Amino acid sequence: MPNYEELSSRLLGYECQDLGAGASEAEIAAAEKDLGLRIEGGYRQFLVQYGWGGVEHLELYGLGGPPHLDLVRITQSERSEMELALPKYLLPVMNDGGGNLFCLDTRTAGDPPVVFWDHTVGFDKDTVVDSEDFVSWLWSQLSDLES
């Protein structure tokens, strides 16, 4: 199981990368207040270190980056403007390119699991956790990218 430092080192090893300079604790606290949820675990570490960014075609939502990756704006839009509204306990971290979202399920205390939100069906009895936490999920995404 990789830790956050190993993940960060892997991100920095990509030739094609675009990573921000980090978000302050005040910026993260403001986002938490705006969204009505707590940001914890590996994703919080990612926000503190980079704020936003990605490698190759993988683009992660965050704070302080371009508008199309703005975590607060995207989350609020998905909650209010979509036909199937994103539940308030889900925090999107990446779009799959087809309008679906990989999200942190913030109902879990501590480092939340990553779940897949299908924008056409939402959740059903067959919805499964994509990964046990953000670091493991992004590690897997990078492994898929490399294979």
* pLDDT tens-digit series, residues 43-61: 999 999 999 999 999 999 9
Q: What is the pLDDT of residues 63-99, one digit of tens each?
A: 999 999 999 999 999 999 988 889 999 999 999 998 8
Structure tokens at 28: 């993260």
Structure tokens at 45: 């570490």
Structure tokens at 31: 């986002």
Structure tokens at 13: 């090893």
Q: Tell whether the model's pLDDT for residue 122 goes beyond 90.
A: no
Structure tokens at 1: 């199981």
Q: What is the pLDDT of residues 1-25, one digit of tens each?
A: 899 999 999 999 999 999 999 999 9
Structure tokens at 44: 């919080």
User: Distance between alpha carbon 69 and the CA centroid of its chain, in Å?
Assistant: 10
Four-CA torsion 143, 64, 39, 87, nearest 10 degrees: -90
To the nearest whole percent, how much of the chain has pLDDT over 90? 82
Sequence letter at residue 78: E
DSSP E strands, 27-89: 53-55, 58-60
Q: What pLDDT, on a 0 to 100 scale, did the predictor assign at position 128? A: 60
Sequence letter at residue 101: L
Structure tokens at 138: 């992004």
Domains of the chain are: 4-146 (3.40.1580.10)
User: Which CA distances in Å does 93 have to 47, 111, 125, 128, 133?
Assistant: 11, 14, 23, 17, 12
- CA 39, 42, 48, 51 torsion: positive or negative? negative
